[in-house]
Chain A
Amino acid sequence: MMRGLPLIGLAALVLLPLTGMGNYPLHLVIMCLLWAYVYTSWAVMGRLGMTSFGHGAFMSIGAYVVVMGWNHFGLSPWITTPIALVLTAVTALLIGYPCFRLKIVGHYFALVTLALSEIARMIIVALRDQTGGSLGATPNTALADSAWSLVALQFSSKITWFYIVLVVWLAGLWIWTRVDRSMARLALEAISHEEDAAASIGIGVTRLKLGVTLISALMTCIGGVLYAQYQLYINPESVSGIGVSLQMVFGAITGGMFVRLGPTVGAVFTLLLAEGLRLVFGHDIHGLDSTIYGVLLVFFIVFLPKGILGSAIEIRKRRERAEQRAAAA
Chain B
Amino acid sequence: MAIFDIFLLEAVLNGVLLGGILALLALGLNLIFGVIDVVWICYAELIMIGMYAIYYLHVSYAWPLWLAFPCAILLVAMRGVLLHQFVIKPVLAAEPINQLLVTGGVLFFLQGVATLAFGVEFKSLGVNLPPLALGDMQFSSARLVAFGAALACMIGMYLFLTRTYLGTAIRAISQDRAIMPLMGVNPNRIFLITSALGGGLAGLAACLLVLQYDIHPAIGLSFGPITFLVCVLGGLGNMIGGFIAAFIFAQFISVGGFFLHLEWGYVIAFLFFIGFMFWRPRGLLGGKG
Mark each residue of chain B from 215 to 241: 1 if its CB lies under 8 Å from any CB of chain A, else 0. 001000100110011011000100000
Q: How far is the CA of A301 from the CA of B103 in the complex (A)?
A: 10
Q: How far is the CA of A123 from the CA of B271 in the complex (A)?
A: 11
Query: In the bound complex, do residue A108 and residue B263 qualify as a contact, i.e. CB atoms below 8 Å apart?
Result: no
Chain A residues whose CB sits within 8 angstroms of the CB of B116 once the complex forms = 285-288, 291
Query: In the bound complex, do residue B278 and residue A108 qualify as a contact, i.e. CB atoms below 8 Å apart?
Result: no
Residue A125 is within 8 A (CB to CB) of chain B in the complex: yes
Interface of A is mostly: helix
Interface of B is mostly: helix
How many residues of chain B are within 8 Å of chain A by beta carbon? 49
Nearest-Cβ distance from residue B263 to partner chain A, whole angstroms: 4
Query: In the bound complex, do residue B108 and residue A290 qualify as a contact, i.e. CB atoms below 8 Å apart?
Result: yes
Query: In the bound complex, do residue B101 and residue A108 qualify as a contact, i.e. CB atoms below 8 Å apart?
Result: no
Q: Which B residue sits closest to A117, measured CB to CB?
A: B225
Nearest-Cβ distance from residue B148 to partner chain A, whole angstroms: 29
Chain A residues whose CB sits within 8 angstroms of the CB of B104 once the complex forms = 246, 249-250, 297
Residue A275 is within 8 A (CB to CB) of chain B in the complex: no
Residue A107 is within 8 A (CB to CB) of chain B in the complex: yes
A293 with B228, Cβ < 8 A, contacts A110-B97, A125-B263, A287-B217 known: no
Query: In the bound complex, do residue A126 and residue B281 qualify as a contact, i.e. CB atoms below 8 Å apart?
Result: no
Residue B129 is within 8 A (CB to CB) of chain A in the complex: no
Q: Which B residue sits closest to A295, measured CB to CB?
A: B109
Q: Which of B106, B231, B270 interacts with A119 by CB under 8 Å?
A: B270
Residue A75 is within 8 A (CB to CB) of chain B in the complex: no
A115 with B108, Cβ < 8 A, contacts A126-B267, A287-B113 known: no
Query: In the bound complex, do residue A107 and residue B236 qualify as a contact, i.e. CB atoms below 8 Å apart?
Result: yes
Q: Which of B91, B105, B225, B277 interacts with A104 by CB under 8 Å?
A: B277
Query: In the bound complex, do residue B101 and residue A122 qualify as a contact, i.e. CB atoms below 8 Å apart?
Result: no
Query: In the bound complex, do residue B109 and residue A291 qualify as a contact, i.e. CB atoms below 8 Å apart?
Result: yes
How many residues of chain A are within 8 Å of chain B by beta carbon? 49
Within 8 A of B (CB), among A141-185: none
Query: In the bound complex, do residue B267 and residue A122 qualify as a contact, i.e. CB atoms below 8 Å apart?
Result: yes
Query: In the bound complex, do residue A297 and residue B100 qualify as a contact, i.e. CB atoms below 8 Å apart?
Result: no
Query: In the bound complex, do residue B115 and residue A290 qualify as a contact, i.e. CB atoms below 8 Å apart?
Result: yes
Residue B43 is within 8 A (CB to CB) of chain A in the complex: no
A298 with B87, Cβ < 8 A, contacts A104-B277, A287-B217 known: yes
Within 8 A of B (CB), among A93-121: 95, 98-99, 102-104, 106-108, 110-112, 114-116, 118-119
Nearest-Cβ distance from residue A83 to partner chain B, whole angstroms: 21
A292 with B98, Cβ < 8 A, contacts A118-B270, A242-B224 known: no
Q: How far is the CA of A193 from the CA of B261 in the complex (A)?
A: 44
Q: How far is the CA of A62 from the CA of B225 in the complex (A)?
A: 23
Chain B residues whose CB sits within 8 angstroms of the CB of A74 once the complex forms = none
Query: In the bound complex, do residue A253 and residue B101 qualify as a contact, i.e. CB atoms below 8 Å apart?
Result: yes
Chain B residues whose CB sits within 8 angstroms of the CB of A99 once the complex forms = 278
Known: A122-B266, A249-B104, A287-B114. 7 other contacts (CB 8 A): A98-B277, A119-B271, A126-B267, A287-B112, A287-B217, A294-B109, A301-B105
